[in-house]
């Protein structure tokens, strides 16, 4: 089903008006659509919520437990509420008390929460036809711009499904999809990753979890946050079916009040992910073993890495010239350090360069020198 969402102001959502099928009451197993007519339409860039969320699309944000998935999802909901839009949250994970505490930490306005956040803790849904009809009626009355599920694993379990079954995962998303496609609201669900999640673009379970959705994000804690310390997260887009998103974000988490500060960044080295980023932050010019480097990460509040994960990430950093490996011989752990900067080039002869001789980069080269010759990621 297709439709249009009218924008009321730049960056905001207006009412979504789905196209009506030719025969809404009849069964049409083979419905032909004229793609020629559809392709002739203008397709402007969609309005994105916070540059990260599409209207009428299915999104999932995965990550290890305790890495901030629910916090990021609540932040997205609060940003929509700040623009005066209704949102819905079906919560099987945190519960009302923790969610209220999180809203308080964000400094949310209680009156706005009461008016715009439609919250359903531990809903008793088995996803039977009657349950789906009741859910559809509820959401049609609310008209939320975002419907959030925390978590997709809980939804699948309520259906009697198994996350390792492609059939069960497809069935789950087929029952959730009409919320996006018919009502036109964005659907966001959390998912769980296994340990060392940074090594894979997939969440825990069948790979159909990635295939079934429009957008998939992976969240990793570079430095975990709490009431007592600020933190740093890394959000990476693993799938973007429409193709308009920036793929890599750094999120700085600060306290009192709780705030998320977003920054578009370049991709980490492929394969190393968050592990490579954590290790690169603790590398210095003092050679250290992998164990010592991991200890430095933990001392800064980061997540400990398995030795094999750290080794693979360091090898990749070394291939990129961003880490140096010092072999110690058989039976002795290798040492790792930040590479020494290259020596300054000397002019011919013994004369040192003067200011006039060393000044004046050729036009257009200074920026490349500052970034190692790599282009910055496309800004959205």
Instruction: Name the DSSP letter for residue 234.
Output: E
* pLDDT at 343 (0 to 100): 53
**What's the topology of domain 3-23+45-264?**
Rossmann fold (3.40.50)
* pLDDT at 49 (0 to 100): 94
- Is residue 198 a contact partner of residue 213, using CB atoms and an 8 Å limit? no
pLDDT bucket at 380, cuts 50 / 70 / 90: very low
Q: Are strands 186-192 and 215-223 parallel, antiparallel or unpaired?
A: unpaired
pLDDT bucket at 102, cuts 50 / 70 / 90: very high
The pLDDT of residue 25 is above 80: no
* Percent of the chain whose pLDDT exceeds 90: 60
pLDDT bucket at 276, cuts 50 / 70 / 90: confident
* pLDDT at 119 (0 to 100): 98
pLDDT bucket at 269, cuts 50 / 70 / 90: low
To the nearest whole number, what is the mean pLDDT of the chain? 82
Residue range 350-362: mean pLDDT, rounded: 33
Residue range 257-275: mean pLDDT, rounded: 79
* pLDDT at 144 (0 to 100): 97
Instruction: Name the DSSP letter for residue 29.
Output: S
> How many other CB atoms are there within 10 angstroms of residue 120's CB atom?
16
Instruction: Name the DSSP letter for residue 117.
Output: E
Residue ranges with strand state E in the chain: 3-5, 16-18, 58-63, 87-91, 117-121, 146-150, 186-192, 215-223, 231-240, 248-254, 259-264, 324-326, 335-337
- In the chain, CATH 1.10.10.10 sits at 273-337
* pLDDT at 272 (0 to 100): 53
- In the chain, CATH 3.40.50.300 sits at 3-23+45-264
**What's the topology of domain 273-337?**
Arc Repressor Mutant, subunit A (1.10.10)
250 burial (CB, 10 Å; 0-12 / 13-18 / 19+) is middle
* pLDDT at 24 (0 to 100): 53
| Stated pTM of the model | 0.67
pLDDT bucket at 5, cuts 50 / 70 / 90: very low
pLDDT (tens digit, 9 = 90+) per residue, 222-240?
889 999 999 999 999 999 9
């Amino acid at each position: 089903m297709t439709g249009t969402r009218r924008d009321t102001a730049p960056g905001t959502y207006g009412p979504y008006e789905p196209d009506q099928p030719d025969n809404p009451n009849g069964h049409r197993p083979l419905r032909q659509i004229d793609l020629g007519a559809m392709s002739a339409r203008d397709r402007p860039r969609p309005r994105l919520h916070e540059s990260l969320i599409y209207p009428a699309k299915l999104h999932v944000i995965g990550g290890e437990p305790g890495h901030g998935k629910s916090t990021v999802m609540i932040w997205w909901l609060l940003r929509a509420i700040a623009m005066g839009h209704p949102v819905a949250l079906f919560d099987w994970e945190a519960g009302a008390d923790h969610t209220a505490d999180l809203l308080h930490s964000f400094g949310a306005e209680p009156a706005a929460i009461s008016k715009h956040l439609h919250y359903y803790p531990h809903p008793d849904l088995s996803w039977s036809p009657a349950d789906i009809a009741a859910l559809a009626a509820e959401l049609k009355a609310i008209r939320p711009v975002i419907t959030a599920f925390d978590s997709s694993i809980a939804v699948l379990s309520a259906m009697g499904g198994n996350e390792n079954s492609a059939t069960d995962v497809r069935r789950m998303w087929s029952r959730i999809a009409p919320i996006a496609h018919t009502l036109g609201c964005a659907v966001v669900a959390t998912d769980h990753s296994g340990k060392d999640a940074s090594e894979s673009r997939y969440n825990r379970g069948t790979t159909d979890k990635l295939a079934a959705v429009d957008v998939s994000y992976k969240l990793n804690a570079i430095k975990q946050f709490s009431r007592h310390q600020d933190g740093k997260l890394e959000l990476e887009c693993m799938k973007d079916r429409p193709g308009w998103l920036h793929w890599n974000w750094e999120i700085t988490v600060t306290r009192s009040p709780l705030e998320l500060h977003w920054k578009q960044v370049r991709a980490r080295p492929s394969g190393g992910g968050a592990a490579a980023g954590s290790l690169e932050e603790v590398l210095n010019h003092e050679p250290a073993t992998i164990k010592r480097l991991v200890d430095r990460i933990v001392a800064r509040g980061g997540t400990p890495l398995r030795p094999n994960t750290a080794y693979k990430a360091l090898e990749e950093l070394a291939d990129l010239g961003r880490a140096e490996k010092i072999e110690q011989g058989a039976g002795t752990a290798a040492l790792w350090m930040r590479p020494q900067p290259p020596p300054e080039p000397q002019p011919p002869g013994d004369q040192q360069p003067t200011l006039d001789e060393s000044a004046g980069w050729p036009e257009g080269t200074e920026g490349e020198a500052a970034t190692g010759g790599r282009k910055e990621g496309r800004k959205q």
